[in-house]
Amino acid sequence: MTMVNAMPEKTVPAGEFKAKCLGLMDQVAVDRKPVIITKRGKPVAKLVPVDDKPSQSVFGHMRGTGRIIGDIVGPTGEVWFADQTDAKLYQE
Protein backbone atom coordinates (compact mmCIF):
# COMPACT_ATOMS: atom_id res chain seq x y z
CA MET A 1 0.00 0.00 0.00
CA THR A 2 1.45 3.36 -1.01
CA MET A 3 0.53 6.45 0.92
CA VAL A 4 0.67 9.76 -0.90
CA ASN A 5 1.01 13.00 1.00
CA ALA A 6 -1.77 15.21 -0.36
CA MET A 7 0.00 18.41 0.62
CA PRO A 8 3.79 18.66 0.18
CA GLU A 9 5.74 19.86 3.19
CA LYS A 10 7.23 23.33 3.09
CA THR A 11 10.97 23.41 2.42
CA VAL A 12 13.32 26.22 3.43
CA PRO A 13 17.03 26.60 2.56
CA ALA A 14 19.35 26.65 5.57
CA GLY A 15 20.38 30.27 5.00
CA GLU A 16 16.77 31.43 4.94
CA PHE A 17 16.01 29.31 8.02
CA LYS A 18 18.88 30.96 9.85
CA ALA A 19 17.51 34.41 9.05
CA LYS A 20 13.84 33.58 9.76
CA CYS A 21 14.18 30.92 12.47
CA LEU A 22 11.93 32.49 15.11
CA GLY A 23 9.21 33.36 12.59
CA LEU A 24 9.26 29.82 11.17
CA MET A 25 9.00 28.37 14.67
CA ASP A 26 5.92 30.49 15.35
CA GLN A 27 4.41 29.46 12.00
CA VAL A 28 4.94 25.74 12.73
CA ALA A 29 3.38 26.17 16.17
CA VAL A 30 0.26 27.80 14.68
CA ASP A 31 -0.15 25.77 11.45
CA ARG A 32 0.94 22.45 13.04
CA LYS A 33 2.72 21.60 9.75
CA PRO A 34 6.41 20.62 9.62
CA VAL A 35 9.07 22.55 7.70
CA ILE A 36 11.97 20.75 5.96
CA ILE A 37 15.31 22.55 6.13
CA THR A 38 17.58 21.94 3.15
CA LYS A 39 21.26 22.45 2.51
CA ARG A 40 22.29 22.64 -1.17
CA GLY A 41 18.84 21.30 -2.09
CA LYS A 42 19.05 18.18 0.08
CA PRO A 43 16.91 17.82 3.22
CA VAL A 44 18.98 17.84 6.41
CA ALA A 45 16.51 18.64 9.19
CA LYS A 46 12.82 18.87 9.97
CA LEU A 47 11.13 21.43 12.21
CA VAL A 48 8.00 19.81 13.63
CA PRO A 49 5.40 20.95 16.16
CA VAL A 50 5.57 19.54 19.67
CA ASP A 51 2.88 17.03 20.63
CA ASP A 52 0.36 18.58 22.99
CA LYS A 53 -0.46 15.31 24.70
CA PRO A 54 2.09 14.01 27.22
CA SER A 55 3.85 10.81 26.25
CA GLN A 56 2.64 7.76 28.13
CA SER A 57 5.12 6.37 30.63
CA VAL A 58 6.51 2.89 30.09
CA PHE A 59 6.01 2.15 33.77
CA GLY A 60 2.52 0.94 34.56
CA HIS A 61 1.54 0.73 30.90
CA MET A 62 0.29 -2.87 31.21
CA ARG A 63 -1.36 -2.36 34.62
CA GLY A 64 -4.57 -4.35 34.94
CA THR A 65 -4.06 -6.49 31.83
CA GLY A 66 -2.82 -9.68 33.52
CA ARG A 67 -4.42 -12.02 36.00
CA ILE A 68 -3.26 -14.80 38.30
CA ILE A 69 -5.06 -18.11 38.00
CA GLY A 70 -4.36 -20.45 40.89
CA ASP A 71 -1.20 -20.82 42.94
CA ILE A 72 1.86 -19.67 41.01
CA VAL A 73 4.46 -20.91 43.53
CA GLY A 74 2.96 -24.16 44.81
CA PRO A 75 3.75 -27.66 43.53
CA THR A 76 2.37 -28.57 40.11
CA GLY A 77 2.61 -32.35 40.40
CA GLU A 78 5.26 -32.42 37.67
CA VAL A 79 8.17 -34.81 38.41
CA TRP A 80 11.48 -33.10 37.77
CA PHE A 81 14.68 -34.93 36.93
CA ALA A 82 16.47 -33.26 39.85
CA ASP A 83 13.80 -34.54 42.25
CA GLN A 84 14.03 -38.19 41.15
CA THR A 85 16.07 -40.50 43.38
CA ASP A 86 16.10 -43.56 41.11
CA ALA A 87 19.69 -44.82 40.83
CA LYS A 88 19.15 -45.98 37.20
CA LEU A 89 18.80 -42.39 36.02
CA TYR A 90 22.34 -41.53 37.16
CA GLN A 91 24.06 -44.49 35.48
CA GLU A 92 25.70 -44.12 32.08
What does each of the 92 residues of the chain score in pLDDT, given as a tens digit? 555 555 678 999 999 999 999 999 999 999 999 999 999 999 999 999 988 776 677 788 788 888 888 887 887 788 777 766 665 555 55
In this structure, are residues 28 and 34 in contact, taking their beta carbons and an 8 Å threshold?
yes
Is the residue at 22 inside a domain? yes
31 in a structural domain: yes
In a domain, 13, yes or no: yes
- Count up the domains in the chain and report the number: 1
Look up the CATH number of the domain holding residue 16: 3.40.1620.10
In a domain, 41, yes or no: yes
Global pTM exceeds 0.75: no
**Residue 52 pLDDT:** 75
Report the chain's C-alpha Rg in angstroms: 30
- Residue 35: inside a domain: yes
Q: Is residue 38 within 8 Å of residue 47, measured between CB atoms?
A: no
Count of CA atoms in the C-beta half-sphere (13 A) of 50: 5
Distance CA 57, CA 29 (A): 25
Q: 67 to each of 18, 37, 71, 74, how far by Cα in Å?
A: 55, 50, 12, 17
User: In one letter, which amino acid is 63?
Assistant: R
Structural domain span for residue 37: 8-47
